[in-house]
Chain A
Amino acid sequence: MKPLWLLAELTYRCPLQCPYCSNPLEFAGGRFKNELTTEEWCRVFREAQALGVLQLGLSGGEPTLRPDLEVLVRCAHDLGLYQTLVTSAYRLTKDRLATLKQAGLDHVQISVQAADAGLSDMIAGATSYEDKLAAYRYAKDLGFPLTVNVVLHRRNIHQVAELIQLAESLGAERIELANTQFYGWAFHNRAALMPTRDQIAAGWDVVQRERRRLGNRLEIVWVLPDYHERFPKPCMGGWARSYLTVTPAGEVWPCHAAGRITTLAFENVRARPLEWIWNESDAFTRFRGDAWMPEPCRSCERKAVDFGGCRCQAFLVTGDAAVTDPVCSLSPHRGLIDAVVTEVERVAAAGETQAEWKYRAAPASRVLAGKG
């Protein structure tokens, strides 16, 4: 078993405050504060490459806040890693992107929060839309393959057609329409973010129509809204099978949400070699394979398809990371998911005032971290 993917979360600092952020609620706390140095990141990249990693995501928070990003890109490029920069593009200049291109960056993924400036800036909690549009053009001018990334939720899912047209007009290769996955801040803000069934169905109709129109001119990725599915997603292609995340201060997780599971022991690249963490550590071995599976997964023929779903979701919703993903219609905990979905439908049908979200911001993070 060798990893193919490394997500390097270079910092949790971010000028945006998106309420669906997948970063930990306690991102501003001490656990993530002491960021890895340039040399430490380069060592992580070397160890990851030696383990088998081929794809590197440079993410965050906002990775361009690291002044040494160019050095890190050069280091990873010398190792042959295919690198994607995952950025909000806030204040990103053409010169900086050109320097990153020269250093060996392969692919740029820039988020946008909606198809128009007013809504996008409102969701981001920061004036950022114009920076994003400029950066999309810089990326294309410089010859980068470009992915437009949009997290979909109740307040923007009506704009799927406009978002696809935006990506098309920019000459992007891909658009990721990622229905909100409920981890981190998104889990906290579930009631404010979750769309209705009708909204999701309308968005999916547009995607199918636009895929027919655009053919292979634009790849349209639709990340399923799993609370509305009958079976869970094959999360990360199975626990600790091909993917690892290194967080800003060096903790290593099997996915970017796993740090929330309080019943796992996580290791740090400052204390242990990455190879040992991947092969031997509790966090990586606990749910690898299928020996850990309870019923109904254990005897289910779908266990090789969805690997029991998502451990983080099982923990967040039921308090136990070792049970079947509660999204599964065969799970004894499916009622916990249905209750959330049903309440969203009820509030919408009754025309009641909808829940407000809490923006992802350091003061709120410290308050929420204090609550444990």
Chain B
Amino acid sequence: MDPTVTPLGAATVPRVAPKARLHWDEVRERHVLLYPEGLVALNDTAAAILQLCDGDRPVEQIVATLKFRYQAEGIERDVTALLNGLATKGLVTW
């Protein structure tokens, strides 16, 4: 499915694209998303979101899990912004 034509919704089930791999960079002590000829450095929130993008959980469940874990507001906005941003690079699909 082409993420550019299907808007992200609560029931959307995102996953890290097959060409990308989430990786713990032990030298720099941060998560990175590795892909052909490139990488994205991830902050802790972004890494936590992507770890839940396993192709099984819908967005609403990812948001609920993170809300419970961090007791924080604004999680929906973080999730939507990250997933839409990575989808335009083809690094997340749904």
Contacts and interface: CB of A to CB of B under 8 A. Distances in A.
Asked whether A and B interact, the reply is yes
Interface in B39-84: 39
Nearest to A217: B2
Interface string B9-27: 0000000001101011101
B28 A147 contact: no
B35 A82 contact: yes
Interface of A: 2, 4, 49-52, 54-55, 80, 82, 84, 106-107, 109, 143, 145, 147, 173-174, 215-217, 219
Contacts of B25: 52, 54
A174 B39 contact: no
Contacts of A145: 18-19, 35-36
A51 B21 contact: no
Contacts of B27: 2, 49-52
A80 B25 CA distance: 9
B8 interface: no
B32 A147 contact: no
Contact of A82 (B2, B21, B24): B21
Contacts, number: 52
A80 B34 CA distance: 10
A55 B32 CA distance: 11
Given A107-B19, A147-B36, A219-B90, 19 more contacts: A2-B27, A51-B27, A52-B28, A54-B23, A54-B32, A54-B34, A54-B39, A55-B37, A55-B39, A106-B19, A106-B21, A145-B18, A145-B19, A145-B35, A147-B37, A173-B19, A173-B36, A216-B89, A217-B2
Given A173-B90, A217-B2, A143 B18 contact: yes
A75 B18 CA distance: 21
B23 A80 contact: yes
A8 to B, nearest CB: 15
A50 B28 CA distance: 10
Nearest to A51: B27
A216 B23 contact: no
The 10 closest A-B pairs by CB, nearest first: A145-B19, A82-B34, A52-B27, A107-B36, A145-B36, A216-B90, A80-B23, A173-B19, A147-B36, A54-B39
Nearest to A57: B37
A53 to B, nearest CB: 9
Contacts of B21: 82, 106
Contacts of A216: 4, 88-90
Nearest to B27: A52
Contacts of A80: 23-24
A139 B39 CA distance: 22
Contacts of B23: 54, 80, 82
Nearest to A108: B36
A29 B94 CA distance: 52
The residue among B2, B88, B90 with the most chain A CB atoms within 10 A of its own CB is B90
